[in-house]
Copies of this chain bind each other. A is one copy, B any other.
Amino acid sequence: MKKNSEATIVSPIQDFLEELHRKCAGDTGGKVATYIPELAKADPGLFGICLVTANGAVYEVGDTQHEFTIQSISKPFVYGLALEDNGREETLQRVGVEPTGDAFNSISLDPETGRPRNPMINAGAIATAGLIAGKSPASRFKRILETFSLYAGRELSVDKTVYLSESETGHRNRAIGHMLRNFDKLTGDPAPTTEIYFQQCSISVTCRDLGVMAATLANRGVNPLTGKQALRGEYVESVLSVMGTCGMYDYAGEWLYTVGIPAKSGVAGGVLAVLPGQIGIGVFSPRLDAHGNSVRGIQVCKELSRALDLHIYNRPVLGKSTIRLQFSGAEFNSSRIRTAEESQMLRELAKAIKVYQLQGHLAFASTEPIVSEILEQAEGAQYFILDLKRVLSLNESAGHLLHSLVGKLSEAGITVLFTHCDHLSLLRRMMKKKFAGQFAELFAVFANNDLALEWCEERLLDHTRTIHASSYKAKLADYQLFKDFTEVEVDTVESLLKTKSFKRGQNIISAGDDAREVFFIIRGTVSVFLPGEERHRLATFSPGMAFGEMAFLDGAPRSANIVADSDVECHQLAMEDFQLLGRTHPAIKIKMLERLCLDLTAKLRKANRELNVFE
């Protein structure tokens, strides 16, 4: 809750929850649980709703800070810990996952194996508590409490009064414990495990805690508020599966049908529901229906599901939503400045470079359209650049598909280049493992699209070139600015120039400096960077090209740093000398200005073309 929030606009989601709370508060049906005396003391009017997104946005209304005991809502969380301790196979040996259609306290052991049908009925939950590792009953329960605290994002504790009340009256559960021992589904004395079960049910939580715990499951086991992992991501699907089929007792089928969100209720009046990847819901209202579920809890979940369209099976079609943008190298060049001839060549040749910006979560069904699209575009392509900057996650099946794609395209003579993939370490690991000795050759990674584009362009231009940039020395008459100048004109300009050398890595121009000269490169290349963004090159210039003319023309301070990529030799033309030229040789100055206009026009046309790619 923000303080001093008068100026803040209240979220429409908060408004919606408040209206829902008012609406459901009118329902006073159902009865507070009485099967243990302590529960019967609950104030039946209490009512809280808390909705927490998988990103950690919390919306709450009503009695969300009131503490009550978690009861059966503890079952899925202990089951998750049992999976971590024992693995899926071993856990399945002890407890099944079939819905029973029976009530919560049914004993429901399989008549042949003695295996409880599922971990959401008491028998299954007690068998599950028996699966928690630890040296002593105390240390086993301590691990449960610590895990629950991770889910809730705060230190939880046991309500001792309720625990003693549960323990005193828990004969049916003790009977179940002995039945389980009889079928060897518990080892050793069943009593300590039954006590652990009583304790886990007596952990004290608030409605807000339930919302955060649900959101932790929605967020693949990571508490979205603390960032701490409460459950390994791989087991989330199993916990939600048992909640989905068995979480609401003999009401599970209709629950899934009408609400469509895996959920768990407890007899103290809590309901917890999880829409994986999206939101967690906690509701608290102590009056229960005949199934033992909170009346308002059910009503709130039904309304939320209907109003917010949360049914797990009601999903939009993925489509090609993972392809953010597609363009060819002819539409968008690297920031290496090219001669007019090279630019012209690239406008045809670079059609063989296809760039795909991908986005979102790459799983099988979202990667399939990318693979199909690339295979369709493979004819005539020489390079595919896959930009993964906006890919939020990549799972193994997407990794497999991309690996196979790279291998197949490579066999067809097509190179795949990846950019911005540092955050997807799984991709690198999979490529390394699968390509083995060919890894370095086949998994081409570039820091950004610009460098990848330049690499492809260089290869496309290579066979058309007769000179090599690094050793090439431009003569003044070769400069684009002076092309078809007469010898006399060239000599006139040359007399105004000074020659200057720079060492590799040296700053030639620094952002903020006054612009006093324009540069012409004789030898070497220079690159342009914004200050503080040294990894993102704005442009690279080669011999024969001019740079620094923009600030020279408009008199603004230098806007970027220009750094020597190699040892560089330049001509410099000072602003005073250029002004002087207008008076001594106006025709030459006019010619130079016309050339500069021409050059700026070409750059502006290119920038406009490139902007068009993003429209």
Instruction: List the B residue with the shortest CB-CB distance to A7.
Output: B379
**Are the C-beta atoms of B594 and A245 separated by less than 8 Å?**
no
Q: Give the distance to chain B from A536, nearest Cβ to Cβ, in Å.
A: 7
**Are the C-beta atoms of A57 and B392 separated by less than 8 Å?**
no
**Are the C-beta atoms of A236 and B404 separated by less than 8 Å?**
no
> Interface readout for A14-36 with B: 1 if CB under 8 Å, 0 if not?
01100000000000000000000
CB-CB under 8 A for A257 and B238, given A408-B10, A586-B586, A602-B554: yes
**Are the C-beta atoms of B314 and A237 separated by less than 8 Å?**
yes
Q: How many copies does the complex hold?
A: 2
> Interface readout for A403-431 with B: 1 if CB under 8 Å, 0 if not?
01100110010000000000000000000
CB-CB under 8 A for A368 and B53, given A308-B397, A605-B550: yes
**Are the C-beta atoms of A536 and B615 separated by less than 8 Å?**
yes
**Are the C-beta atoms of A371 and B13 separated by less than 8 Å?**
yes
Q: Which of B219, B412, B590 meets A586, CB within 8 Å?
A: B590
Judge if A241 is at the interface, Cβ distance under 8 Å.
Answer: yes
> Interface readout for A525-555 with B: 1 if CB under 8 Å, 0 if not?
0000000000010100000000000100110
Q: Which of B53, B262, B536, B602 meets A365, CB within 8 Å?
A: B53
Judge if A90 is at the interface, Cβ distance under 8 Å.
Answer: no
Instruction: List the B residue with the shortest CB-CB distance to A224.
Output: B317
Stretch at the interface among A165-173, A356-364, A457-465, A485-493: A356-364
Judge if A319 is at the interface, Cβ distance under 8 Å.
Answer: yes
Q: Give the distance to chain B from A282, nearest Cβ to Cβ, in Å.
A: 16
Judge if A378 is at the interface, Cβ distance under 8 Å.
Answer: yes
Q: Which of B101, B397, B607 meets A100, CB within 8 Å?
A: B101
Residues of B within 8 A of A600 (CB): 597, 600-601, 604
CB-CB under 8 A for A594 and B594, given A313-B240, A550-B605: no
Judge if A190 is at the interface, Cβ distance under 8 Å.
Answer: no
CB-CB under 8 A for A553 and B590, given A277-B315, A309-B395: no
Stretch at the interface among A66-74, A247-255, A265-273, A342-350: A247-255
Q: Which of B236, B321, B360 meets A313, CB within 8 Å?
A: B236
> Interface readout for A127-139 with B: 1 if CB under 8 Å, 0 if not?
0000000000000
Judge if A307 is at the interface, Cβ distance under 8 Å.
Answer: yes
Residues of B within 8 A of A116 (CB): none
Instruction: List the B residue with the shortest CB-CB distance to A102.
Output: B101
Question: In the complex, A324→B365 CA distance in Å?
Answer: 21
CB-CB under 8 A for A262 and B368, given A12-B401, A99-B253: no
Residues of B within 8 A of A184 (CB): none
Residues of B within 8 A of A577 (CB): none
Question: In the complex, A395→B198 CA distance in Å?
Answer: 44
Judge if A225 is at the interface, Cβ distance under 8 Å.
Answer: no
Q: Give the distance to chain B from A384, nearest Cβ to Cβ, in Å.
A: 12
**Are the C-beta atoms of B97 and A257 separated by less than 8 Å?**
yes
Residues of B within 8 A of A372 (CB): 11, 57
**Are the C-beta atoms of A98 and B254 separated by less than 8 Å?**
yes
Judge if A9 is at the interface, Cβ distance under 8 Å.
Answer: yes
The 9 A-B pairs with the shortest beta carbon distances in the complex, nearest first, are A12-B404, A586-B586, A277-B315, A278-B365, A607-B607, A98-B253, A593-B593, A308-B364, A316-B361
Known: A8-B375, A13-B368, A241-B257. 19 other contacts (CB 8 A): A11-B375, A12-B401, A13-B401, A16-B400, A53-B368, A54-B317, A54-B318, A97-B253, A98-B101, A101-B101, A220-B317, A237-B311, A237-B314, A278-B317, A279-B365, A307-B400, A309-B363, A309-B364, A359-B359
Listed A/B pairs (30) with beta-carbon separation below 8 Å: A7-B379, A8-B375, A9-B378, A9-B408, A12-B400, A12-B404, A12-B405, A13-B371, A100-B101, A101-B117, A220-B317, A237-B260, A237-B311, A241-B313, A244-B244, A244-B256, A245-B252, A276-B313, A277-B317, A277-B318, A279-B365, A279-B368, A309-B363, A309-B396, A309-B397, A316-B392, A559-B605, A593-B593, A597-B597, A603-B604
